[in-house]
A and B are shown apart, each in its own frame.
Chain A
Amino acid sequence: MENHFEVVIVGSGPAGLSAAGRAAELDLSHVLLESTSHLANTIQRYQKGKHVMAEPGFLPLRSSLPFDAGSREDILAAWQQNAETLSINVDWQADVVSISGQRGDFTLQTRAGKTIRAANVVLAIGLQGNPRKLGVPGEDQPFVQYQLDDPDEYQNESIMVVGAGDSAIENALALSRNNQVSLINRRDEFARAKEGNLKLLEDAIERGRIKVFFNSSLRQIETLTNGDHLAQVTLTTGEGEVQVPVDRIIARLGAIPPRDFVESCGINFPNDAVNAVPELTHQYESNVPGLYVIGALAGYPLIKQAMNQGYEVIEHILGHDIKPVDNDLLAEKFSGLPFDLDVEQTLELIQNNVLCFGPVNSLRFRELILESEMHTPAEGDVIFSRNDYTNSFYSVVEGSVEVVIDEATGKRVRIGEGHFFGEMGLISGRRRNATVYAGRHCVLVETPRRTMLRLLASADEVRRRIDQVFILRAIHSQFAPNSSLEDLSDLVNSAELRQYAPGEVLFAEGESGDELHLVRRGSLTVSRYLHGREVVLSYVPAGKYVGEMGLLGNTRRTASVRAVVPTETVVMKSGPFLALLDRDPQLKEQVQLQLQARLRANASMEASEEGGELLSFLMRQGLGEATDVLLIDESLCVRCDNCETACASTHGGTSRLNREAGPSYASIHVPTSCRHCEHPHCMKDCPPDAISRNASGEVVIADNCIGCGNCESNCPYGVIQMAQVGGSQPGLWSRVLFGAEHKKIKDKDAPKRAVKCDMCTSLKGGPACVRACPTGAAVRISPEQFIELVQEN
């Protein structure tokens, strides 16, 4: 049967294309289904001339198609050419709407009504999703498009843009330069749009360059055969129906995330998390036999990884016993271990030994180990020190480590084989709270933060196990280092984790309550109503607790507590806690002392209302999640910009701080400069994992940055910029005598990469901006010093 293939590959991105390439090379009967009319749509949509990087550098490429770092055009041209040479069988405009059946007998339906049958299916549709269509007859006419690549391509046309988001507004604005543009909004306002876009839109409306139809939707699209325009659209508006002649319709209605479609094929996801990936075997096979998932959809967003998987998945389908391309890398990683086992056996041993990794599927576990470091420290070696800012997670495969839980007495506890440590730094994003020493014959796995967070997001069971231990250890180290763990079991079992959104109130002044909150991530403010307004009195970072007054007997809350940023607390009930205090009078005294210190600090803040205002101002600038922030005292700043010049001179010509930009209050100015967040937003979605936090706390971007700009758009504080780094710095004397400035790179097309403040980690002596300030106006401080700053002012 003509329409029956050994393998159907859905999606022609790097993963799908590479799979099709391998299938074609091996003469396997195959078809590559692509919903558009060109290969690799996501890469096509990169901006013109974009430099594409080939990360991760350590991973070799295994594919029938070439791939190396280079311009978008070169890469696409090479793939196109190879796809032809290999005779890949591509079916264009084949938008798959359903997949059913199982190994040996799959049926795929396309939107155009075509049926394709196959023994195996490889799903490589990426994460972009399909654009949401207009949903009216005529939505697939050639003059209806769901994307705009180059607005300057169109001149003197009558164009209708549909949508209320930023992409619709931006398209309408760009097109209005050379065309007559109408914009259709289903509602009566543009609620989701950025402030800047709204302003430009208002302006364009005022000037009559864009006509907006509010409360309107498309009812019908009719093609015109004569007249000046290609079609006529009937709109249903608040005032009845309106006919608008058009030459082109651009609909920007967002995309339908692929998850619903994937689930409709019978594939299971482990949970509802937004970034959850389907459960797969190490051969990329889903729970539906014969249905394979590779590429970004499987959780591998990098081009090279995706291409390797494309190659491997075809080999697996053919039953070839090939070792994954990372086999040698793992062998190298394991070479120093005292096990004398092959790669697969070592992986199995680690997974069996380490309790919290038990529930992880084997493909994900392999990835985890690949991204982790193996350590065999000598007895007594320091694994990490108290107050380090590292945030990786450690598991003990063999032997044990010792944790110093009381610096004063040097008291240590042992963590043995199969257990883990380092979870506090990982979860709170703050400094390590204890020093850890290696025990005898110990073998450790150090897993980076990002890998761990990805695992926690996709494996509920792992998260549950880690949370349980976290609560136990947090209570033990904070309140009862001298109690045995058994003594704490009542308290631990009754404790629970709670999440709060920014601004959410944990408890309000005047309420009654007897719970104590130990902050495990994020931060809180304590405020009171004074003279008819709310005044912020203090700031509570992760690792500290609030609400102890309620536990000590006074159940009426004397202040309100509010989350500054996304915050998680361990909530303890009064009953078991009081029982603990009764057993330990020393602890009771300690809790009372802390309470007294807090009350005293609050009283002194109440005495100066301006101080509270300044503290609220700092919190409003998002400094509640900062670890180190540059603050300028405007009454000392002579606006000489030596801070910016110093920064640019020591960082390849681009200043990472903008002195003038940013808000001020009571002569304290918060310039636009990185504040090294506890949980850096920039790290959220960095494909090559180039952003990390140093042991001393700085968040830095490494040289393997691919210049994708994700961090720039993820940073809510606008402190990351894309810049060409390099050029030449004139000598000191030519700067002193002739005012010579940094020479930029001459090549305009040189790749841009993300740059931000790195706190001058590579410079001895600390941040250049602060050291270059002649008047003492610039300082870098941590949030713990805010109260001091406020009192000083």
Chain B
Amino acid sequence: MHGSFLSHRGGFWFWVALVLVLSSVLAYVWHEPLGQPNGGTWLGYTLGTVAALLIVWLTFFGVRKRAYYSRLGTVKGWLSAHVYLGGSLLVLGTLHSGFQFGLNIHTLAWLLMVLVIVSGFYGVWVYWRYPERITRNRDGMTRQLIFREVADIDRKASVIVEGLGSPADRMVISAIQLFSIGGGAWHQLTGRDRSRIMVAASKGSAKRWVQVANPTQQRLLDELTGLLSRSADPQEAALLQELIDLISRKAKLMRQLLADIRLQGLMEVWLYCHIPLTMALLATLMAHIVSVFFYW
């Protein structure tokens, strides 16, 4: 039934990768090249060729994932192979270098390869940890349901404030109008709420309205609880209390939504490193191969 890509077919690709890594290491230890180990020996060429072919094949995962008619295995099987064989590259590529590092295109290719693999490992980690966190945070709600409930709360709140008048009405309505969620990548990943609100500020004897931050409706709640504490009219107090209950619920939903956006963002953001780095790796790899043959 349900089974992770990591344990696909009893971890078949893990064993394939392990055999690949062990045999490369054994060959490296057994091999006695003339001079120091180098990419130019027969073993170096072999490891380099295998690694280069692997890199090209690994990038094909992006193609297979979108080839919905393909019957060449399942995407899950491909991802399993992608992860384990990709991981084995770390050893293969490094052995291919013979540990000769320097300030050159060859080491740049190796470095990019390492970065791609490390970002991939991070991806595996988030894919392992985050789905459950998202589920827990969602608590049976979907984003659509949350938005619907927020809209519902806004509607109810705007009816209630009609009976309250200033300044509650302006604050509540402005909080609805200046509500903001999501935004750019940074805001999504930090989970910051940029919602704002208009509140009355008194400067000396003059009163004027200013716009201030209202993260997760906290400022509005502060203002409303202030009004309630000063209220002497029981009818007004009842309405304020009802309003506070509604806004508290909205605040809870906002926190849930912000966390959801943040978690979802974190689960996806590594791909924005993994893929461009892969493209850079492919280009550098090409330069590495051409330059090696050119100077040979």
Complex CA distance for A199 and B153, rounded to whole angstroms:
12
Which residues of chain B come closer than 8 Å to A646, judged between CB atoms?
Answer: 68
Asked if B143 is an interface residue, CB under 8 A from chain A, the answer is yes
Contacting pair A775 B1 (CB below 8 A): no
Complex CA distance for A732 and B264, rounded to whole angstroms:
26
The residues in A between 750 and 787 inclusive whose CB is less than 8 angstroms from any CB of B are 763-765, 768, 770-777, 779, 781, 785
Q: How many residues of B contact A (CB 8 A)?
A: 35
Which residues of chain A come closer than 8 Å to B235, judged between CB atoms?
Answer: none
Which residues of chain A come closer than 8 Å to B156, judged between CB atoms?
Answer: 206
Asked if B4 is an interface residue, CB under 8 A from chain A, the answer is yes
**Nearest B residue (CB) for A763:** B69
1/0 contact string of A702-742 vs chain B (CB within 8 Å)? 00000000000000000000000000000011011000000
Asked if A406 is an interface residue, CB under 8 A from chain B, the answer is no
Complex CA distance for A779 and B159, rounded to whole angstroms:
46
Interface centre among B1, B8, B156, B159 (most CB of A within 10 A): B1
Complex CA distance for A500 and B98, rounded to whole angstroms:
76
* One of A39-47, A279-287, A600-608, A633-641 contacting the partner: A633-641
Contacting pair B1 A774 (CB below 8 A): no
Which residues of chain B come closer than 8 Å to A109, judged between CB atoms?
Answer: none
Which residues of chain A come closer than 8 Å to B76, judged between CB atoms?
Answer: 773-776
Contacting pair A639 B3 (CB below 8 A): no
CB distance from B149 to the nearest CB of A (A): 11
* One of B132-140, B193-201, B213-221 contacting the partner: B132-140
Asked if B85 is an interface residue, CB under 8 A from chain A, the answer is no
CB distance from B238 to the nearest CB of A (A): 16
Which residues of chain B come closer than 8 Å to A531, judged between CB atoms?
Answer: none
**Nearest B residue (CB) for A667:** B135
Contacting pair B127 A736 (CB below 8 A): no
Contacting pair A776 B8 (CB below 8 A): yes
Question: Of A639, A732, A764, A771, which contacts B75 at CB under 8 A?
Answer: A771
Which residues of chain B come closer than 8 Å to A150, judged between CB atoms?
Answer: none
* One of B15-23, B59-67, B224-232, B249-257 contacting the partner: B59-67
Asked if A80 is an interface residue, CB under 8 A from chain B, the answer is no
Contacting pair A661 B144 (CB below 8 A): yes
Question: Of A661, A663, A664, A771, which contacts B135 at CB under 8 A?
Answer: A664
Contacting pair B5 A775 (CB below 8 A): yes
Contacting pair A638 B267 (CB below 8 A): yes
1/0 contact string of B2-14 vs chain A (CB within 8 Å)? 1111001000000
Complex CA distance for A773 and B152, rounded to whole angstroms:
35
Q: When A642-B65, A735-B66, A736-B63 are in contact, do A785 and B71 touch as well, CB less than 8 Å?
A: no
Which residues of chain A come closer than 8 Å to B140, judged between CB atoms?
Answer: 663-664
Question: Of A642, A732, A779, which contacts B2 at CB under 8 A?
Answer: A779
Contacting pair B264 A773 (CB below 8 A): no
Contacting pair A772 B75 (CB below 8 A): yes
- At the interface, is chain B mostly helix, strand, loop or mixed? helix
Asked if B183 is an interface residue, CB under 8 A from chain A, the answer is no
Contacting pair A785 B130 (CB below 8 A): no
**Nearest B residue (CB) for A739:** B66
CB distance from B261 to the nearest CB of A (A): 12
Complex CA distance for A664 and B134, rounded to whole angstroms:
13
Contacting pair B79 A771 (CB below 8 A): no
Asked if B211 is an interface residue, CB under 8 A from chain A, the answer is no
Q: When A638-B130, A663-B140, A774-B76 are in contact, do A792 and B2 touch as well, CB less than 8 Å?
A: yes
Asked if A620 is an interface residue, CB under 8 A from chain B, the answer is no
Which residues of chain B come closer than 8 Å to A776, judged between CB atoms?
Answer: 2-5, 8, 76
**Nearest A residue (CB) for B260:** A639
CB distance from A556 to the nearest CB of B (A): 36
Question: Of A764, A770, A775, A792, which contacts B127 at CB under 8 A?
Answer: A775
Complex CA distance for A82 and B115, rounded to whole angstroms:
77
Contacting pair B2 A774 (CB below 8 A): no
Contacting pair B159 A206 (CB below 8 A): yes
Question: Of B74, B135, B143, which contacts A634 at CB under 8 A?
Answer: B135
The residues in A between 280 and 322 inclusive whose CB is less than 8 angstroms from any CB of B are none
Known: A733-B63, A776-B2, A777-B2. 20 other contacts (CB 8 A): A207-B159, A631-B2, A636-B4, A637-B131, A638-B267, A642-B65, A645-B66, A661-B142, A661-B144, A664-B140, A732-B63, A770-B74, A771-B75, A772-B75, A774-B5, A775-B4, A775-B5, A776-B5, A785-B1, A788-B1
- What residues of chain A have their CB less than 8 Å away from a CB belonging to chain B? 199, 203, 206-207, 631, 633-639, 642, 645-646, 649-650, 660-661, 663-664, 667, 732-733, 735-736, 763-765, 768, 770-777, 779, 781, 785, 788-789, 792
**23 A-B pairs in the complex with CB atoms less than 8 angstroms apart:** A199-B152, A207-B159, A635-B131, A637-B131, A638-B130, A638-B267, A639-B131, A639-B134, A661-B142, A663-B140, A664-B135, A735-B66, A763-B69, A764-B71, A771-B68, A771-B74, A773-B74, A773-B75, A773-B76, A775-B5, A777-B131, A781-B1, A788-B1
